[in-house]
Structure 1
């Protein structure tokens, strides 16, 4: 029987780094993906992109399977309503089995990030952008975020923009709007006390080439009371080994040595 993780009191954030091609020691268990996921993986223009997409979705299935106690390949996903238009393209949800768990997935340039919580959650990981990308995209941000970035030394500007951008995307994914919401409406800058009410936003350490963040919505119940008192539930960063996605592997993801850190907003 597969070991089972209890639903997190706060949030669990899982980090997976894709190895270089020469360091890959197994074959991804593609049999766990549904037809839509397989088709999307095949449509990626670059082989590395298709491999990362497949790895990310196998990782999501195996992580969620550890919480719900069901085979990874049996999980059925859907979408909740979008807050902007009420159409069914909002936050991802588990259709089968029915579960109160919330989750979010992001992947970029060899890195995968998964968030799991009992409240709304969004995660985002991005490769540190070029100076030109940062310059163009900064114009869409909140006025105070733009002012803060303008004070960052040029040598650190792209990484600072990347940290702010992943906070923004994580929050919008947590809302369920994605980039359909105006990027200038919400402040996710350096002053955490000014972040959107009812949300805790944390930076996730992802190495020198990436920036990452998680946004957890403590809008209701006891978690909201703790957040209002400045004591949001813990965010635990966990490591997901690439070997856990290979055919024939059934690693125990409940092991304490999978925990990398406790993150603070």
Structure 2
């Protein structure tokens, strides 16, 4: 595939991309797996359910084609690496590009039929999750910041699952942006309803993505100037397809 023209990102700009896994009856083509490396292909084939393999493969094809479009490089030429973890200095921190030189920052998340990719000129983390069960809320809310726990307990029960899901995705997005992931205690940082108490130097945004999921992005900047949200059509991940960076924002 011919490399697209580069589309550089400005500081303070964040581009967010959503991809919804289609119903099997709505799949009209075949995913182009030729751009994935050996480890990505192995991970996709190792998924015990066919739907899980399809979601993993489509997420990574989307990531490659997006980054290729931003950088003006063929998607298959991209090589990924990990930065050192801030907690232990081992190479399992934020993902980065080793080829070409990392001039953009990115983050990928996928869960239960939904994919979210964030691309920015500043370090970024994104997270998308299916709205949790009530039992998950009861168990996991004991691990978060005490003020977050109090806020969740004050939410009417009918709304509590979605409220906790939104809190959780904010928290995971921030920890992914830091590069620690869940290696950092969940109770250490506050990402509840009071935005003024969120970690300094970071901007966190909630992302609308339908009634079954919650999503958020965290960017290491306090001067966010523009956020765009776009949907990726599954057809753009088939052989010969391309991701249109000029697609209208959702």
* Common fold by TM > 0.5: yes
In 1, the alpha carbon distance for the partners of 2:213 and 2:6 equals 30
- Cross-structure match for 1:182: 185
- Cross-structure match for 2:132: 129
- Cross-structure match for 1:72: 75
Contact 1:33 1:73 in 2 (8 A): yes
- Cross-structure match for 2:9: 7
In 2, the alpha carbon distance for the partners of 1:106 and 1:25 equals 24
Distance 1:45 1:8, change over 3 A: farther
Q: In structure 1, the residue corresponding to 2:208 is in which secondary structure? A: coil
Stretches of structure 2 lacking an aligned partner (at least 5 in a row): none
Q: Deviations over 1:113-154 (max 9, x none)?
A: 001111110000000011001110000000000000011000
CA RMSD of aligned residues (A): 1.1
Q: In structure 2, the residue corresponding to 1:123 is in which secondary structure? A: strand
Q: Deviations over 1:2-48 (max 9, x none)?
A: 24422144211111111111001110000110000000001111110
In 2, the alpha carbon distance for the partners of 1:6 and 1:25 equals 32
Select which of 234, 246, 250 maps to 1:255: 246
Contact 1:142 1:187 in 2 (8 A): yes
Select which of 211, 226, 229 maps to 1:237: 229
In 1, the alpha carbon distance for the partners of 2:246 and 2:194 equals 35
Cα deviation, residue 232, structure 1 = 2.5
Alignment of 1:128-167 (within 5 A): 128-167=131-170
Q: In structure 2, the residue corresponding to 1:105 is in which secondary structure? A: strand
Contact 1:203 1:214 in 2 (8 A): yes
- Cross-structure match for 2:102: 99
Contact 1:8 1:116 in 2 (8 A): no
Contact 2:230 2:247 in 1 (8 A): no
**Deviates most, 234-243 or 56-65:** 234-243
- TM-score, length-scaled by structure 1: 0.91
Q: Please say if 1:112 is aligned against 2:132.
A: no
In 1, the alpha carbon distance for the partners of 2:43 and 2:247 equals 34
- TM-score, length-scaled by structure 2: 0.96
- Cross-structure match for 1:197: 200
Q: Deviations over 1:145-187 (max 9, x none)?
A: 0000011000011000000000000000000000000000000
Alignment of 1:33-52 (within 5 A): 33-52=36-55
In 2, the alpha carbon distance for the partners of 1:6 and 1:154 equals 45
